[in-house]
Structure 1
Amino acid sequence: MTVQTAPAAEVTALPPVHRGGRATVLGLTGTAAVLLAMAALPYLVESGVTAQLVKLCYLVALASMWNLLAGYAGMMSMGQQAFIGLGAYLLFIVNDHGVNVYAGTLVVSAVVALLAWPVSYLAFRLRGGYFAVGTWVIAEVVRLIVVRFDSLGAASGRTLSDVTADPVLRRAFTYWLALAVMAAAVLGTYAVLRSRLGLSLQAIRDDDTAAGSLGVNVTRGKRIIYITAAAGCAAAGAVICVNSLGVASPTQIFGVQYSALMVFMVIIGGIGTIEGPVVGAIAYFLLDKYFAQSGVWYLIVVGAAAIVVSLYLPRGLWGTLAHRTGFAVFPVRHTVRL
């Protein structure tokens, strides 16, 4: 009796693993086309339209950063307003030292990232609900420290001193700044999730204890994401400051309402997806635009939308669509082709 064996190449050959492929090319091409079209809007529409879109841009950036924290690293932070406020107030400092507010946004993001590194050692001593409460307390402490500086306006807020005088140019530059921050937040999240760190994050989110037992450096991965999200929120805070020509009050810029908005947008759009925060931000932007002047009805509509989505679409608007169709603008899953 003769036993026939397969060649060594056939025995050891493994099916190829692909990620995205044509879908990735189409998604990135479509995204580039949308961003280019949006960048051209100051030449095509009146400045009032782009002024409204500035808010949408920083909402998308904020939602993407909170989704990166909670949706992929499992950190339910309720204190991201600390970094939003720091981004706004540090912009005053760099502007007072002669740095243009638009270039200063990049400086502010880097400085806040450095500040978030030691803060993470304090925050990471807490877990679960204690982490959420602890991050909110940290934000309040940061606010109390900021209001002690008279040069920053103390408790009454402050205005920017060096902004382009021409209102049309100022609105255009502010819009481009907001668009750049939004693009960096979304595409940066996509780049992180396509890296080796992205695989570690998904394991950490599902079960950080099991991930650690498999060799994943849980603390390092969480710290990188925490610092990244802090830098993104600081950039959004700088955009808010430039768009408003200053800060009305520390209580406003350090308000917990920003964290509430981030949670709302991510839940509505779909937590744990790159596209979900974008969809959630657009949904909130439209609700705010058409119902913000309706008084109590505005809160009723927003609350009703959150309840309906939570009950009937627990994956969120985009999350439900992606789950049922498998469609993704930014695919990060691995596919085995037999």
Structure 2
Amino acid sequence: MTPSLPTLPYAVERATAMSRAAGVGGVVLALLAASLPFWGESSWMREFVEIACYFIFAMMWNLLAGYGGMVSIGQQAFFGFGGYVMLILGNFVGLNPFVAIPLGAVAAGLIAVPVSFVAFRLSGGYFAIGTWVIAEVFRLSFANVSAVGGGSGTTLTALRGIEKGTRESVTYWMALACVVAAIALVYLFLRSKRGLALLAIRDNEVAAESQGIPVARMKLAVYVVAAFGAGLAGALYFVGNLRISPDAAFSVNWTAFAIFMVVIGGIGRIEGPIVGAVIFWALNKFLSDYGTWYLLGLGLLAIVTTIFFKQGLWGFAQQRWGWSLFPTQRRLVLRESAVPKRAVPASPSSNTSHLEFHAHAKHQ
């Protein structure tokens, strides 16, 4: 008979009580949000679609820069490309624009492959500036195509036969689904072995490659995924906006606002773009009428956060109180049977003793 292996006195736990509660609360909140078109106002749905596009774009930028270590200020290239592909498929091919939204995202991911051959020849600050130049090339290219309106842009006419209420409701539901999918996919990716490999590449590429991690392939995969998400946000945004122009689609403000949200919330954390998007929406809602003062307020808030909260607002809360809605670290939990009788606390609710370890490669 094969001898049975001894039971280890500990187990690896990846969720916390707070993350479980957040999961249940997130499901309830998503179901409640899905019912908004039946009782809410159309202005609420339009606001949600706009901030959802900003959030998805910021989430992809955080994946690229916060986890992959590739700081880009030209991701608006894929945002605008996804929007234009959606418009071309809708206006000229006759495809339903709602079906064209994921196709625009796929096209943005595909175009990122040849673009990466140019961008990956650069590193550091040169990579950031190079991606901005690439975005400007995209903008000038579409500005010289008269079929899509040239520099003045054009209108999405493919939705002309759809009732306004139906159009707004479907756009809202697609935006909600894209937000949930973006959070879930990024979270599952970061909890996987590939997520650990990405963090190792961010910390030290040479050390990661020496451990057998395919650095070039991982960076290309993250770059393509981030481009796909940016294209999805762009296609979704211009379906809701009904009009597109090169200056609006390829504006550097998209990346600037994404960086603002990620820095305010906390770079390198899934919760960062969520917190940053809520703050950005609140500032945009109540202070945008003040014009220049509004932009000065955004800049001042970013400066104060980077000086006093270097890890972002959620990063500060996580370090101070241990909050984590989307934990990616592993926790080593002693089994109840492995704890001596005299070491068991008197409280009947205390069944385990926790020893927390961060999932860093050198600790494993």
Identify the TM-score tier after normalising by the shorter chain.
Answer: over 0.9
Residue 63 of structure 2 is aligned to residue 47 of structure 1: no
Count of residue correspondences: 330
Amino acid aligned to 1:121: F
Look up the match of 1:237.
234
Amino acid aligned to 2:228: A
> How far, CA to CA, are the matches of 2:285 and 2:18 in structure 1?
33
How far the C-alpha of 1:148 sits from its partner, in A, is: 2.3
* SS state at 2:293 partner: helix
Residue of structure 1 aligned with 2:102, choices 100, 106, 112 = 106
Amino acid aligned to 1:312: F
> How far, CA to CA, are the matches of 2:113 and 2:31 in structure 1?
34
> How far, CA to CA, are the matches of 2:5 and 2:49 in structure 1?
57
How far the C-alpha of 1:24 sits from its partner, in A, is: 4.6
How far the C-alpha of 1:22 sits from its partner, in A, is: 5.1
Residue 175 of structure 2 is aligned to residue 183 of structure 1: no
What per-residue deviation string (whole Å, max 9, x for no partner) do you get for residues 197-233 of structure 1? Answer: 1001111111112111111111111111110010101
The correspondence of residues 289-304 of structure 1 with structure 2, limited to 5 A, is 289-304=285-300
Residue 121 of structure 2 is aligned to residue 157 of structure 1: no
Look up the match of 1:226.
223
Amino acid aligned to 2:175: A
Q: Is the 8 A contact 1:23 1:331 kept in 2?
A: no
How far the C-alpha of 1:13 sits from its partner, in A, is: 4.1
> How far, CA to CA, are the matches of 2:200 and 2:18 in structure 1?
24
Look up the match of 1:36.
31
Look up the match of 1:123.
119
> How far, CA to CA, are the matches of 1:146 and 1:307 in structure 2?
35
> How far, CA to CA, are the matches of 1:76 and 1:312 in structure 2?
22
Amino acid aligned to 2:74: G
C-alpha change, 1:131 and 1:46, in structure 2 (3 Å) is same
What per-residue deviation string (whole Å, max 9, x for no partner) do you get for residues 7-31 of structure 1? Answer: 9956x94732221265554333222
Q: Is the 8 A contact 1:60 1:281 kept in 2?
A: yes
How far the C-alpha of 1:52 sits from its partner, in A, is: 1.3
> How far, CA to CA, are the matches of 2:208 and 2:9 in structure 1?
25
> How far, CA to CA, are the matches of 2:111 and 2:117 in structure 1?
11
Look up the match of 2:352.
none
What per-residue deviation string (whole Å, max 9, x for no partner) do you get for residues 269-323 of structure 1? Answer: 0001101101101101111111111022112211111111111111111111112
Cα RMSD (Å) of the superposition? 1.7
Amino acid aligned to 1:293: D
What per-residue deviation string (whole Å, max 9, x for no partner) do you get for residues 160-198 of structure 1? Answer: 111153222221111112112222221111111011110
Identity, % of aligned positions: 42
Which 5+ residue runs of structure 1 have no aligned equivalent? Answer: 1-6
> How far, CA to CA, are the matches of 2:146 and 2:291 in structure 1?
35
* SS state at 1:255 partner: coil
Which 5+ residue runs of structure 2 have no aligned equivalent? Answer: 335-364
Q: Is the 8 A contact 1:265 1:284 kept in 2?
A: yes
Look up the match of 2:303.
307
The correspondence of residues 1-338 of structure 1 with structure 2, limited to 5 A, is 13=8, 15-20=10-15, 23-95=18-90, 96-163=92-159, 165-247=162-244, 249-338=245-334
Q: Is the 8 A contact 1:19 1:333 kept in 2?
A: yes
Q: Is the 8 A contact 2:54 2:254 kept in 1?
A: no
> How far, CA to CA, are the matches of 1:60 and 1:155 in structure 2?
27
Amino acid aligned to 2:99: A
Amino acid aligned to 1:79: G
> How far, CA to CA, are the matches of 2:21 and 2:114 in structure 1?
40
> How far, CA to CA, are the matches of 1:224 and 1:167 in structure 2?
38
Look up the match of 1:3.
none
